[in-house]
Amino acid sequence: MIEWLAKLLGDVLTPAVRVFRRNRYLDRALSGPATLNTEWLEIIPNEPLNVERSHQDIVLYPDPPIQMVFDKDLIPANGIPANLEAELLGTNEVTYQPSPGVSETMTGDLRITSRSLSFKGLPKDVTYKKVRIRSNVDYPVKQILWRCYNWAEVHK
C-alpha cells in the first residue's frame, strides 16, 4: 500500500516540479510594441494583475537595445539617459509606486536588453487594474511584461 501511494505521488508530483522549475517567472504581457514618452501610457489588463510570488516587476524590452558607452560612467551612447516612471492602480483606488532604481540586463557588448521596475511589498489582498508608464525621453519598447517570481529561485 505504501509503495503504491509513493509511486502515485511521485508520478503526480514529479511533472509538477519539472514545470515549476522551468517556469521560474510568471509573465503576463501588458503591451506589445510601444513608444514611451513624457505622457503616461495607461495599460488596462484584460484581467487585473495579482501578487503571485515574492517579487513583482514591470519589465520593458527596449527596441532596439540601448547601446551604452564608458564616459567616466556607463551612459547611453546618445548621451541622454531615460528615466522611467511607473504606477499601479489598485482596486482599492490606491496608487502604488515602484521601489527606487531599475534593474537592467546587458549583453557583453554593452547593449541593455531589458529594464525592470520592482514593486516590493504590494498588498496580496488587492488586485491591480491599471498600469501607467512614462519616460523623460522617447523610449521605444517591443514588449512590456508583468513578471512575478521568487527571488531565491532565480538567483541560485
CA angle 21, 23, 25 (to 5 degrees): 120
pLDDT at residue number 23: 75
Give residue-wise pLDDT tens across range 23-37.
788 999 999 999 999
User: DSSP letter at 80?
Assistant: -
Q: What is the grid cell recorded at 93?
A: 483606488
Q: Is the pLDDT of residue 153 over 90?
A: no
pLDDT at residue number 154: 78
pLDDT at residue number 72: 77
pLDDT at residue number 9: 53
CATH of domain 26-154: 2.60.120
If you average pLDDT over residues 68-96, what whole number do you get? 91
pLDDT at residue number 14: 52
Q: How many helices (H) and strands (E) does the chain have?
A: 2, 12
pLDDT at residue number 152: 79
Biggest CA–CA distance in the chain, Å, is 70
Share of the chain above pLDDT 90, in %: 71
pLDDT at residue number 18: 47
Q: For residue 107, give the nearest of 150, 64, 149, 72 by alpha carbon.
A: 64
Q: Measured between alpha carbons, how far is 110 from 36 in angstroms, rounded to an integer?
A: 22
Give the model's confidence band at 99: pLDDT under 50 very low, under 70 low, under 90 confident, else very high.
very high
Half-sphere exposure (CA, 13 Å, Cβ side) for 62?
A: 23
Q: Is the pLDDT of residue 5 over 70?
A: no
Pairing of strands 95-96, 34-36: unpaired
pLDDT at residue number 118: 97
Domain coordinates of the chain in residue numbers? 26-154
